Chain A
Amino acid sequence: MTTGTDVSMSDEELGRRLRLTFATMVPLLDSAASDEPAQLLRDASDRLVFEPARREPAAAARWGARVAAVAAAAALAVGFVVVQRSAVDDPALSDTPNLPAVVAEPGWYAVIRPLLPSGFDRIALTHADQQSVAFVAFRSTSAQILDMNITLEPGFDKKETTDPVTFEDDSGTYFESSGGVSLDTVDDRLIGVRCDVTSPLGSSLPTSQDPSAAGPCADASNADPIDGADLRDLARNLATGFPLDAVNESFGAPVGTDVLNPAIAAQVAEFIGEPAVVIAEQNDLVLREVSLSPATVTPPTSRLTVVTGVYSPPAPTNAPVSTEPASLPGARFFRHGAVATAIVVANGTAFHISTSDLSDTNLPALSQLLNQLTATQGAGVPVPPPASTVVPDGDQDVAAIPPTTTMPPADQGYTLLGIDPLPDGYQLLDAYYPTAKNGSGLARFGNPTNTTELWLIIRNEPPRAELFESLDRTTWQFNGRTVWSDGEGDSCLPDACSIGLQWDDQTSLSLIWTDQQGNNLAPGSDQDSLLALLPGLVADDSLPWQEVTELPEPGSAPPAAPIVPGSVVVANGNTLGGSAGRLAEMLNGAGFTVAEVVNATSISSDSVIYVSNEAWCLGIQLAYATGITTTESMPNVLPIDSPATAESPDVLIILGTDAATRFESGDERIDLGPVGQLIVVNGTGDNSIVESRLADLKAAGIQVATEVASARPADETTLHPITETTPWTCGIADLLGIGGFDTWTPDMINGELPEGTDAVLLIGG
């Protein structure tokens, strides 16, 4: 193992460490400067323009923006090739082995993509000649599939039809049915559009037929439905927007028959136990649908469709391409009516499985097959779960299909993940991801019997397994993926233990046991128990992820005590201009309510906090927050020069010369002191009261270390600080409407309070 405490580091070893460090950190500097406004990117010139050699700061900033914009514009213009090439050509990364071949954006992609609805960005060209073209497109956030045919030559492939005309406009005549539309254009061409969720080829399983006229992409459970009107719009777009002369040398050709990995067919045959039956085929092997059921099962209950030549846009990162095989632990199925489907796009190939056999044995087996297929195909790009809400039918066995809810927008650059099942006794505390792109997502799970939390952190990060291997960290293999020791070196700390894993080529995760109060972890909270959770990792559609503007960093202090409400006036009692204003801004930023900033009647050497009788807890919190330790009762005549318009503030802060410079920079952190260990004693026979109190605490982010039964009933709810009265205990008291503190009497419980108890909440009533 190599760690920072290794005293025998050689030049060679230090050199290796330095290369890894530069290779890791310099790209982070890149990304830190990548937040250029979109407008700048659009307006960016690709010409080098000089400004005067000596620039004012504002000009320098403009130049910086211009250079970054030029770089971004150049990268956009050349697209994926440039992004990947920069990683390959990078001298510091020249030792990176076996980078997969770069896939440039085909010419047809830029032609068809703008004509499709949002999200349909994984597209395959299934046919192309001078007469017609055909595409299949996948929308990753809804698992919907568009199948499109466009004839380019007037009169080509037209047949007589007796189908009724359902709509007419300037573009032509529409023949619409559930899930599809055919447009006979005014220039005598045919545009065919179909949307499905259960099969790219339209050969859906019999039980999947949606009886509604809306079509399979528009069922009520789908959060992003495509109905008949949408399909009509799409057909019109294709008729008017797709150039008739698009098929030329730069357009690109459909993927040929030699790209399908033969190992795929072998694996399917091995899965069934007999050769697979081809159900449908289109354009040789570009699309192939095979039965995943034995020949004796007619019609087949499970089908696999393989679509090769799928172009996926690059991930929003300049990370090198993953060198790891893709196996997706727990590739997941989602319900569409009586059919479950799963889809994964791996290295240009889409694997789509649909099944009407929802049994506990079939779905895990199919999931495992999907993992094997994607691992065989190569570096994978998992499709996030659909946005649809799938409500299981009441009388069917759906244990293998967890209920789903609407996914938040998956624009963070990583896949949202969850754990199912959770460790015994653990339940979700909260799950956040930041509004800004590429910030880490954090899901926290707690156990009421101890203070050890389980954290799942997901981030947009290039593959790092090789980095950790280079650092001689302990690694494990799981489903063909490298798991690494993710903490301070190889071993766990007393209060933290973690492992890391690359989920897909844009998502890495950490699983962490952590005790935010600094206590030792609960027994069994080790790397082995984290490794045991890996099979339960799933692309999350069950956690109530919340979008927040800022996510607390891992290891940062847990939520502070609730701020006690009340009006605060800050008076400037020193000669440093603006100091009171800066303090007021800081306090407001921390959640206090500063009603007004005024001048004190005189300059004072000592700062004082005046507190009204009812606001003593707010005074304690402000004393901690400001570091002003002198507190006095509120005088009858306020010592302020200009009269405060706020009526009798709850707290008046006189900022004297002793603390004037303390808030000079205006960006000091407000510290409300430590969070303590709270013990709840149940002194009531009414469980609803206890549950209500616990819910209030949980909602405020206050954790209960443990619950203890009372030795005797209690008439009212009281709070008993064991050590001292702190902002934390004040916050709890205010939260629960407790007007004061009581002294703890040990005979309220049988036995001793747990060691480290800071406060006891006795719930009575």
Chain B
Amino acid sequence: MNPKRILIVEDSLTVVEQMRLFLRNENYKVTHAGSEFGMYQMIEEYGKVVDLIIMDLTLKNENGLDLIDNLRKNEKYSKLPVIVVTEHAQVDFILRAKELQVSDYIRKPITKETFIKRIERTISQSTDTNVADNMTHTSDS
């Protein structure tokens, strides 16, 4: 099976390096962007090949939820799975994340086990959804 491609949107190189180490022996291709501009560069470059975005919510100059909001406004990326990495657990944050169809969230500090499990679960659910979508389209046609 082709490895899934994960795009990490995070402005700390140390945290990116740590995430890469967590994923190194897993069957994923990992790319990285440090800003919204970089994120669009990467997803436009890889197009449909980006299977999951890991989004840090508190980038130094940008708000991760706003980035997801902008992403969702683009039909092409409206269903792209996103996992957010955050320290927030307030109700208003969770409600907004749900509105933006965030797939899951990981609390900081990140542990390897949690990180990999959440990614596996999200990608698996996304694949199931795609299969279901394809079946629906097939039966419609």
Are A and B subunits of one complex? no
The residues of A with any CB-CB pair to B shorter than 8 Å are: none
